[in-house]
Every structure is written in C-alpha cells, then in structure tokens.
C-alpha cells in the first residue's frame, strides 16, 4: 500500500522543493500589476499577470525600500524576488524584494486616455454634480443580483431605515456585455423617478472592474437626471464611473450609508426639533399671553365707560370743590360785607353826628339871622306891590300899596309920603 501523507507534509515538501530551486530563489518576473492593495501594516499585495497567466505577489513593509514609486493598477513592472509556497493557503506566490517600472499596461493606458478625454470635455466638472438627497425614500441599485454588493446594501439599508424602498436592476457587472447591461439599468431606473441610484459592484482586478471604465457607462451616468452614487470595488479601486458620478463611495456598503438615511437618528432629531418647537411655542405663547394681559390692562385703562366714570368722578370732585370754594367765598364775602356794613354804619353814624353838629351850628347861625326871630322882636319885612322886598325909600312913593310882614301876619298899607334918612344918597334900587 502506498504511503499516505498529510496536507502539511505535502505542502512542506513542495515548499522545500521551491527553496532548493536556484532559479526560483533569485528570479525577476515581468508583467502587469493588477488588484493592487496597500495594507495598513505597510505590506503591498498585488497580482502580476500577462496575457496567459497570473501570479500572486507580496512586498512586505521591510522590503519597501526596493520600490521607488507608487505601485498602481495596470503598470508594467519587473519584480525581482523569490517564488515560495504560502503553506497556510497551499499556494505559491512571489515575494518581491525589488520592483522596477517597465512601462504602462494596455488597460491602464486606455483608462488614462479615456479619463483625460472625458475630463477635457468637462464631464468631471463639479458644476454638473447633483446633490444627493438627504432623505431618500426610493433607492435604485444597478448591480449583480447575487453577490456581496447587493447583500451589503440590503443589510445596511434594513439596519438604517427599513422604510426605504430598494429597487434592484439585476445587471451584468463583468464581461463584454456588462457595459450594455449597466447602461440599460441606469436608463431604466432613471425613468422610474427614484430619489437616488447606486451603481457598482464588489472588488476585483482591473479587468473585473473594466465595465465601469467604459465610455458608454460614463455617459449614461452623466446623462442620468437622478443623482448617482458610484460604488465600484474597494476603497483603492478608482474607475471612470467614480469621476463622472455625482458622488463616489469607497465601497457598496459606504454607498448604502450615504444613500439611506438613519431612521433612528432622523427620529431622534425629529424629537429634538419637536421638543425645541414645543419650547419655542411655549415661550411664544407665554409672551403672547403676557402681551394679551398688557393689552387687556390697557383696554381696561382706556375703557370709555371707565374713562366716563373717572371723568364723572373728577367732575363731581370739581363740583364739590367749587361748591365748597363758593361757600367759602360767599362766607368770606359776607364777612367782608358785614365788616364793610359795620364800617359804613360807623362812618354814617360819625357823618350823621358831624352833619347834626354842623346843622346845629348852622341852625344856630340861621336862627341868629332869621327874619322871623327879628320879626318877633318887633321888626317887620316890607314889600312893594309886586311883593319885592323894599330896601330903600326910593322904592316907594306916596299912594303906593305896600305889604308889611310881621311875626303873626301881613299888613297892607298905603304910603302917604316918603322921607330920606340919608339925603346924600340919591340912587334907588328896584
């Protein structure tokens, strides 16, 4: 019976054969770089290929001094190092110690040529970029129906917002017919009036992703009226679709994060806004209520009925004041009148006394000069026929009738003759 070996034994044997092969220990291989990945540890993983085959390769961080440029997809390089077996995976790979750049691969040159042409046409200009809606309700997806990309998008969408509607167009994402399928998917979903489209696939080599470097796919994305998020490969993979799209996502998972808003955060933000709005409305209500109370107080202050009552009260107060003032004034005037009357009476009494005194004096004087008193003493008052008093004998002549007024009556007499007592006086009075 033939010997039976373990997998480890066989793998170790093959590894030992590789080590003993002088050509494999110091070998230089020329090929095109594909599926290049820079690991966070500093290691570089890539595939070296030509038209007929490919070989996995790795350059550890400690050997990076043997690389004088940035290793990128499609580069034509010569890698010097050792071909050895990686026992854990049971595969052989090239351990690079030095990499020199020989030229650019055909695919990469084609990629750069199309990129430059489209950029010159302005298809990458930010002015044509549409904003991604913040709250998308319907999300279209152009990718393979089976694969990690659609599963990641569905899982993340269900976690972030189960209410968002996902519309899948199952497109071919690899091969010669892929570009036509992707273009058809973009045009079909664009006509449905969705909020945003995710166009992409999972990671792969530059050949695997080449459908997203086709000009017709780039033009379909550019002409799409619905905002497009490009999600092709991994973070280090860059395609023409990434340049033309309205937004580039490093992975399909990241595209789902960008397209589907987090409902829990949205609800929490809504609750914050609701609380803020309630506080604002509450403050505004209090302000309006306070203002209303002020207006009500002013209205009461300027109420016509209240003003009328106030004016009536003020009028009554004025009437009472005037009445009291008038009474005081009348009382004062009466007092002054009484004082004036008393003063007048005193002055009248004094004047009367003075007048009586003067009258008595004048009466005494008059009595002393009174004809009656003289008549009572035997004197008489003689008048002529006309009743005019006679002061001279020249006023009478013999035969005239004269009147003699005595104390107790009148006597008429006839003049017999006249005699001058003073002969020297010749004039007469009438």
Per-residue confidence (pLDDT) for residue 426, from 0 to 100: 46
Render 65-118 in DSSP notation, one character per residue: GGB-S---TTEEEEEEEEEEEETTTTEEEEEEEEEEEEEE-HHHHHHHHHHHHH
Per-residue confidence (pLDDT) for residue 186, from 0 to 100: 96
Average pLDDT over residues 46-69: 88
Per-residue confidence (pLDDT) for residue 305, from 0 to 100: 74
Average pLDDT over residues 29-38: 90
**Statement: residue 396 has pLDDT above 60:** yes
Q: Where are the beta strands (DSSP E) in 23-74?
A: 27-38, 44-49, 54-59
Per-residue confidence (pLDDT) for residue 381, from 0 to 100: 77
Per-residue confidence (pLDDT) for residue 59, from 0 to 100: 93
pLDDT band at 52 (very low <50, low <70, confident <90, very high): confident
Render 314-333 in DSSP notation, one character per residue: HHHHHHHHHHHHHHHHHHHH
Phi then psi dihedrals of residue 195, to 5 deg: -85, -35
- In contact, 179 and 214? CB cutoff 8 Å: yes
Q: How far apart are CA 93 and CA 24, in angstroms?
A: 11
Over residues 213-251, the pLDDT tens digits come to 999 999 999 999 999 999 998 877 789 999 999 999 989
Mean pLDDT of the chain: 86
Q: For 94-98, 214-218, 396-400, which range has the lowest pLDDT when averaged over its residues?
A: 396-400
Q: Where are the beta strands (DSSP E) in 107-263?
A: 138-143, 165-170, 196-201, 228-232, 247-248
Per-residue confidence (pLDDT) for residue 427, from 0 to 100: 45
Q: Tell me if the pTM is above 0.85.
A: no
Over residues 159-174, the pLDDT tens digits come to 999 999 999 999 999 9
Q: Where are the beta strands (DSSP E) in 146-195?
A: 165-170
- Domains within the chain, CATH numbers bracketed: 7-104 (2.40.50.140), 111-261 (3.40.50.261), 373-414 (no CATH)
Site of tokens 């040159």: 109
Residue 398 CB burial class (10 angstroms; 0-12, 13-18, ≥19): exposed
Phi then psi dihedrals of residue 315, to 5 deg: -65, -40
Distance of CA 359 to the CA centre of its chain: 107
Q: How far apart are CA 169 and CA 354, in angstroms?
A: 146
Count other Cβ atoms within 10 Å, centred on residue 148: 15
Nearest in space to 384 (alpha carbons), one of 406, 415, 354: 415
Instruction: Give percent above pLDDT 70 in the chain.
Output: 93
Per-residue confidence (pLDDT) for residue 360, from 0 to 100: 83
**Statement: residue 364 has pLDDT above 90:** no
pLDDT band at 196 (very low <50, low <70, confident <90, very high): very high
- In contact, 186 and 288? CB cutoff 8 Å: no
Q: How far apart are CA 379 and CA 372, in angstroms?
A: 9
- In contact, 223 and 187? CB cutoff 8 Å: no
- In contact, 255 and 229? CB cutoff 8 Å: yes
Per-residue confidence (pLDDT) for residue 430, from 0 to 100: 40
- 352 SS3 class: helix
């Amino acid at each position: 019976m033939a010997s039976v070996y373990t997998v480890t034994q066989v793998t170790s044997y093959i590894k030992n054969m590789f080590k003993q092969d002088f050509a494999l220990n110091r070998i230089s291989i020329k090929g095109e770089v594909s599926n290049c990945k820079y690991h966070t540890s500093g290691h570089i993983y890539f595939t070296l290929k030509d038209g007929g085959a490919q070989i996995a390769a790795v350059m550890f961080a400690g050997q990076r001094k043997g690389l004088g440029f940035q290793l990128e997809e499609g580069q034509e390089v010569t890698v010097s190092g050792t071909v050895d077996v990686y026992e854990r995976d049971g595969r052989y790979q090239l351990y690079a110690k030095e990499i020199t750049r020989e030229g650019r691969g055909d695919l990469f040159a084609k990629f750069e040529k199309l990129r430059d042409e489209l950029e010159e046409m302005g298809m990458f200009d930010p002015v044509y970029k549409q904003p991604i809606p913040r709250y998308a309700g319907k999300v279209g997806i152009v990718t393979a129906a089976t694969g990690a990309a659609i599963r990641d998008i569905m899982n993340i969408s269900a976690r972030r917002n189960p209410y968002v509607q996902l519309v899948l167009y199952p497109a071919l994402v690899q091969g010669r017919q892929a570009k036509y399928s992707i273009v058809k998917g973009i045009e079909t979903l664009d006509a449905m009036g969705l909020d945003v489209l995710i166009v992409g696939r999972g990671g792969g080599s530059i050949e695997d992703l080449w459908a997203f470097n086709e000009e017709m796919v780039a033009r379909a994305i550019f002409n799409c009226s619905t905002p497009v998020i490009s999600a092709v490969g991994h973070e280090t993979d860059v395609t023409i679709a990434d340049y033309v799209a309205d937004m580039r996502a490093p992975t399909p998972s990241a595209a789902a994060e960008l397209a589907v808003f987090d409902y829990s955060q949205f609800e929490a933000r809504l609750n914050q806004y609701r609380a803020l709005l309630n506080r604002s409305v509450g403050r505004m209500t209090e302000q309006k209520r306070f203002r209303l109370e002020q207006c009500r107080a002013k209205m009461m202050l300027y109420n016509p009925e209240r003003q009328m009552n106030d004016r009536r009260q003020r009028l009554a107060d004025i009437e009472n004041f005037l009445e009291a003032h008038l009474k005081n004034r009348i009382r004062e005037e009466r007092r002054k009148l009484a004082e004036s009357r008393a003063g007048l009476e005193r002055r009248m009494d004094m004047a009367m006394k003075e007048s009586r005194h003067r009258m008595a004096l004048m009466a005494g004087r008059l009595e002393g000069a009174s004809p009656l008193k003289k008549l009572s003493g035997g004197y008489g008052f003689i008048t002529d026929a006309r009743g005019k008093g006679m002061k001279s004998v020249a006023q009478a002549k013999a035969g005239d009738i004269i009147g003699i007024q005595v104390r107790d009556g009148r006597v008429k007499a006839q003049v017999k003759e006249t005699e001058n007592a003073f002969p020297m006086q010749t004039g007469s009075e009438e």
